[in-house]
A and B are shown apart, each in its own frame.
Chain A
Amino acid sequence: MPTLTIDGQSIEVPSGTNLIEASRQIGVDVPHYCYHPALSIAASCRMCQVELHQEGAPPRVVVACQTEAADGMTVSTDGADCKQARAATLEFLLANHPLDCPICDKAGECDLQNFSYWHGNAQGRFREPKREAIKRTSIGDHILLDQERCILCTRCTRFMDEYAKAPQLVVAGRGDRNVITTFPGEKISSNYEGNLADICPVGALTLEEFRFKSRVWDLTHQDSVCPSCDRGCSIRLETKRNRLLRVRPRENPNVNGHFMCDIGRFGLLESCNPEHRVSSLRQLDDSSNAPNAVDLARELLVTHAGKWLILASSRMTLEEAVVVRDAFAPHLAPDGLVFISAAEQPGDDILYTGKQAANESGLRLAGYRECTLGEVRERVAAAPDTALWSFDGDVAGQVLVQNRTRFAAIMDCWNSSHGQEHPDARPHDVDLFLPALLFSEKNGTWVNRDGVLQRLRAAQRAPVGTLSIAELFAAILDRPASSPGCPDRTHHSLGTLGLNRLPLSQIPATGIPIDSLRAEVAAS
Chain B
Amino acid sequence: MEKYLSLHFERSTPLGLEEARAQGRYATAETVLRQKAPDEVIEEVKAANLRGRGGAWFPAGVKWSFMPKEPQGPSYLVVNADEGEPGTFKDRQLMEKNPHLLLEGILLASYAIRAHTAYLYIRGEYLASYRALVQAVKEAREARLLGPNLFGTDFHLEVVIHRGAGAYICGEETALLNSLEGRRGEPRPKPPFPAVYGAFGRPTTVNNVETLANVPFILERGARWFRDLGAPTAPGHLLFGLSGPVRRPGVYELPTGTTARELVEEHGGGLIGGKALKAFVPGGASTGFLPADALDVEMDPETLRERGTMLGTGGIIVIPDDVRIVDAARVFSRFFRHETCGQCSPCREGAAWSDRVLARFARGEGHRDDFDLIEDIARGSTRRTICVFPEAFAGPMLSAIRHFRDEFESGVAAPDNPTSVAHQEA
Residues of chain A having any CB pair with chain B under 8 Å = 41-47, 49, 61, 66, 84-85, 88-89, 91-93, 95-96, 125-128, 151-152, 154, 171, 173-178
Contacts and interface: CB of A to CB of B under 8 A. Distances in A.
A96 B421 CA distance: 19
Contacts of B339: 174-175
17 contacts: A43-B386, A44-B343, A45-B344, A46-B345, A46-B346, A88-B379, A88-B384, A89-B380, A92-B346, A92-B350, A93-B345, A125-B373, A171-B342, A174-B167, A175-B342, A176-B351, A176-B352
Task: Count chain A CB atoms within 10 A of each CB in B343, B356, B381 and give the residue with the most.
Answer: B343
B10 to A, nearest CB: 38
Given A44-B343, A125-B373, A61 B383 contact: yes
Given A45-B345, A66-B189, A92-B346, A175 B337 contact: yes
B363 interface: no
Contact of B353 (A49, A126, A152): A126
Given A93-B345, A125-B373, A175 B340 contact: yes
7 A-B pairs closest in CB distance? A88-B380, A92-B349, A176-B352, A178-B342, A43-B189, A44-B343, A175-B342
A143 to B, nearest CB: 22
A125 B369 contact: yes
Contacts of A41: 189
A174 B189 CA distance: 18
Contacts of B353: 92, 95, 126, 128
B4 to A, nearest CB: 39
A45 B348 CA distance: 10
Contacts of A93: 345, 349
Contacts of A95: 349, 353
B397 to A, nearest CB: 16
Contact of A178 (B169, B348, B373, B385): B348
A66 B192 CA distance: 11
Task: Count chain A CB atoms within 10 A of each CB in B184, B339, B340, B344 and give the residue with the most.
Answer: B344
A174 B340 contact: yes
B346 A171 contact: no
Contacts of A47: 345
Task: Count chain A CB atoms within 10 A of each CB in B341, B352, B369, B373 and give the residue with the most.
Answer: B352
Contacts of B341: 174-175
Interface residues of B, number: 35
Contacts of A173: 342
B355 to A, nearest CB: 9
Task: Count chain A CB atoms within 10 A of each CB in B189, B360, B369 and give the residue with the most.
Answer: B189
Given A89-B384, A96-B349, A175-B352, A127 B367 contact: yes
Contact of B348 (A43, A127, A175): A175
A375 B337 CA distance: 73
Interface string B271-310: 0000000000000000000000000000000000000000
B337 A91 contact: no
B380 A128 contact: no
Interface of B is mostly: helix
A49 B349 contact: no
A305 to B, nearest CB: 72
Interface string B249-262: 00000000000000
A89 B189 contact: no
A95 B360 CA distance: 17
Interface in B164-183: 167, 169
B356 A152 contact: no
Nearest to B367: A127
Given A91-B380, A151-B345, A44 B386 contact: yes
Contacts of B356: 128
Task: Count chain B CB atoms within 10 A of each CB in A44, A89, A126, A154 and give the residue with the most.
Answer: A44
A125 B360 CA distance: 14
B3 to A, nearest CB: 39
Nearest to A153: B345
A251 B380 CA distance: 34
Interface in B407-426: 421
Interface in B353-390: 353, 356-357, 360, 367, 369, 373, 376, 379-381, 383-386
Given A95-B353, A125-B369, A176-B337, A42 B421 contact: no
A176 B348 contact: yes
Given A171-B184, A178-B342, A152 B348 contact: yes
Nearest to A171: B184
B138 interface: no
Given A61-B384, A92-B349, A127-B367, A152 B189 contact: no
Contacts of A45: 344-345
B338 interface: yes
Given A89-B345, A93-B345, A128-B356, A46 B337 contact: no
B352 A89 contact: no
Contact of A152 (B343, B346, B352, B421): B343
A42 B383 CA distance: 17
A44 B345 contact: yes
Contacts of A85: 380, 384
B165 to A, nearest CB: 11
A151 B349 CA distance: 10
A106 to B, nearest CB: 18
A125 to B, nearest CB: 6
Contacts of B350: 92
B28 to A, nearest CB: 41
A252 B189 CA distance: 29
A88 B378 CA distance: 10
Interface string B49-77: 00000000000000000000000000000
Contacts of B376: 88, 91
A44 B341 CA distance: 11
Task: Count chain A CB atoms within 10 A of each CB in B367, B369, B380, B383 and give the residue with the most.
Answer: B380
A46 B348 contact: no
A174 B336 CA distance: 11
B189 to A, nearest CB: 4
A347 to B, nearest CB: 31
Interface string B305-328: 000000000000000000000000
A175 B351 contact: yes
Given A45-B345, A125-B369, A175 B380 contact: no
Contacts of B384: 46, 49, 61, 85, 88-89
A177 B342 CA distance: 8
Contact of A127 (B167, B343, B385, B421): B421
Contact of A174 (B342, B344, B357, B369): B342
Nearest to A129: B356
A93 B348 CA distance: 9
Nearest to B191: A66
Contact of B338 (A43, A89, A151, A174): A174
A46 B342 contact: no
B422 to A, nearest CB: 10
Contacts of A178: 342, 348
A343 B421 CA distance: 70
Contacts of A175: 337-342, 348, 351-352
Nearest to A173: B342
Contact of A46 (B340, B351, B352, B385): B385
A521 B71 CA distance: 55
A84 B348 CA distance: 18
Contacts of A42: 189, 343
A174 B165 CA distance: 13
A326 to B, nearest CB: 60
A93 B352 CA distance: 12
Contacts of A176: 337, 340, 342, 348-349, 351-352
A150 to B, nearest CB: 11
Task: Count chain B CB atoms within 10 A of each CB in A93, A95, A128, A174 and give the residue with the most.
Answer: A174
B346 A89 contact: yes
B381 A88 contact: yes
A151 B373 CA distance: 21
Task: Count chain B CB atoms within 10 A of each CB in A42, A88, A173, A178 and give the residue with the most.
Answer: A88
